[in-house]
Amino acid sequence: MIINKFSENIYYSDFVRETDRPVLGYIRGDKFSVMIDAGNSQDHMEEFLREIERMNLEMPKYCVITHHHWDHSFGMEFFKGETIVSRKTNDKLEYLKKLKWDKESVLKRLETGEEIEFAYNAMVVEYENFDDIKVSTGDIIFEDKLILDLGNDLCHIVLVGGPHEEDSSLIYLEKEKVLFAGDAHSGDYYHNEGKIDGEKMKGYIGNLEAIDFNTYILGHDNPIEKETIMMLLKKLI
């Protein structure tokens, strides 16, 4: 795994298309450090933390989850600190936890349309054995927003919803002016065949406009500047 250094305090991993592994973030704080998203499996979580250790960075105390989707949350069980989720995300994780995750049950949900083929195909590559799938709920639950004081910066976590999922949260650093977006602006693959709802996108753009950031770090792509992402998103309305 490659972890990219954005600044002295901000790092982000690469993403993997084949297994749908998203970008994982690391924010170094003077008081404590924070990880963004838990990854799609034990392996994903542990590979990230091994690399953090190799880079002589302190283990993160908290792991903030951008939204409940498997690729961002299935590593939660294997995080050593505490996980932070919105209540909306936690409700969805509670539901996922009740489901059976053996291959046959997932295939059944694929037939009924509850699961999507893209996710299943990536799970098959990530998991040799579906019995290894563990779904976990959060330790610290916030309603709409939460601010973590890292000592050297304030880390804002804001539930915004948007076109991808109703439980998407944005995480941004006030001084660094870096925003971790997860998949928040993407289409809705679970309820709308990957399409973008124009009204939800308008609301989402409004949320972004109100935040003072320079760099936008995506869940499954390379980071981009604010000006570029705003231009791209406006075209998608």
List residues binding Zn ion (CB under 5 A): 69, 183
Burial of 15 per CB tally in 10 Å (0-12, 13-18, 19+): middle
61 touches 52 (CB < 8 A): no
Q: In what order do the strands lie in the sheet with 178-182?
A: 145-149, 154-159, 169-173, 178-182, 215-218, 224-225
Compare residues 176 and 183 and give the one whose CB is closer to Zn ion.
183
CB of 38 to Zn ion, least distance (A): 13
Compare residues 150 and 229 and give the one whose CB is closer to Zn ion.
229
CB of 168 to Zn ion, least distance (A): 8
Nearest to 213 by CA among 150, 171, 167: 171
β-strand 215-218 against 178-182: which pairing, if any?
A: parallel
CB of 192 to Zn ion, least distance (A): 13
Compare residues 119 and 150 and give the one whose CB is closer to Zn ion.
119
CB of 50 to Zn ion, least distance (A): 25
Length of the chain: 237
CB of 231 to Zn ion, least distance (A): 23
Compare residues 9 and 168 and give the one whose CB is closer to Zn ion.
168
DSSP letter (8 states) at residue 195: B
Compare residues 47 and 183 and give the one whose CB is closer to Zn ion.
183
| Cα distance between residue 194 and residue 187, in whole Å | 4
